[in-house]
Amino acid sequence: EKKEIVGKLLKSVGLEPELGKRFPHELSGGMKQRVTIAMGISLNPTVIIADEPTSALDVVVQRQVMDTLESAQERIGAGLILVGHDMGLMAQFVDRIAVMYAGKIVEIAPVETIFNKPLHPYTRMLIKSLPKLDSHGVFNGIPGLPAQLLNLEEGCSFCLRVGKVNKKEIPWVKISKSHYIRECKVCSDYN
């Protein structure tokens, strides 16, 4: 009975049931990710949280893994939270994006808003730093040094990156029904 359940789970993520007999080192990176997805959905969760589900995978396998996650999520009716750094890939599979800096969410909005009308300076720089086909090899990095997570100061962590200081608690501002930003008056005009 257990072998049958494992076989069905593997099949549900696009793998042959016979793979259940293999050792992890005998599987490719994409296969391992799909086995992990199968394990995750085996208990019919109400929410699937996938942290960097496509890291260290080639583009074709990334797409397969994301398609597998999406179909598994739809099949069991679960919510899906994706955590990742590849905004282009993630944007194809989510409705809303929460941008984090130094462990705190700084902006939440629908995908289209994040890409076309970002408001937080970090979000704006993050979007500008994404490679574009017409960039002629020019990379727009984000200036300054990333926040030191082991030694975070009170207030706005992004201010330090752009050479400013704001030690006050940064409030959430509601821009619209689906768009929120932690608005720091000190660095909000930086770009």
pLDDT tens digits, the chain, 191 residues: what are they?
888 999 999 998 889 999 999 999 999 988 998 899 899 889 899 999 999 998 888 888 888 889 989 998 998 999 999 999 888 888 898 999 999 999 999 999 999 999 999 999 999 999 988 877 776 777 778 888 888 888 888 888 888 888 888 888 888 999 999 999 998 887 776 65
State pTM to two decimals. Answer: 0.81
Place of tokens 């030191």: 148
* pLDDT in the model for residue 2: 87
Residues 187, 99 share a domain: yes
What SS3 class is residue 177? coil
Listed in order, strand segments (DSSP E) in the chain are 47-51, 79-83, 96-101, 104-110, 172-176, 179-182
Same domain, 176 and 100: yes
Last residue of a domain, one of 63, 86, 109: 86
Both 110 and 165 in one domain: the answer is yes
- Structurally, how many domains does the chain consist of? 2
- Residues 99, 79, single domain; the answer is no
Co-location of 107 and 187 in the same domain: yes
* Cα 124-173-160 angle, rounded to 5 deg: 50
Q: Which of 86, 118, 149 is the last residue of a domain?
A: 86
pLDDT at position 115 is: 94
- C-alpha–C-alpha distance, residues 135 and 177, integer Å: 34
Same domain? For 107 and 47 the reply is no
Q: Which two tokens stand for residue 99?
A: 């941008």
Query: According to the model, what pLDDT value does residue 190 have?
Result: 62
Say if residue 103 is in the same domain as residue 182.
yes
Instruction: Enter the tokens of residue 146.
Output: 């990333």
Q: Are residues 103 and 190 in the same domain?
A: yes
For residues 50 and 110, state if they share a domain: no
Regarding whether 100 and 81 lie in a shared domain, the answer is no
Burial label for 117, CB within 10 Å (0-12, 13-18, 19+), is middle
**Cα–Cα distance for residue pair 13/71, rounded to 1 Å:** 8
Q: Which of 86, 114, 142 is the last residue of a domain?
A: 86
Tell me the residue range of the domain where 139 lies: 95-191
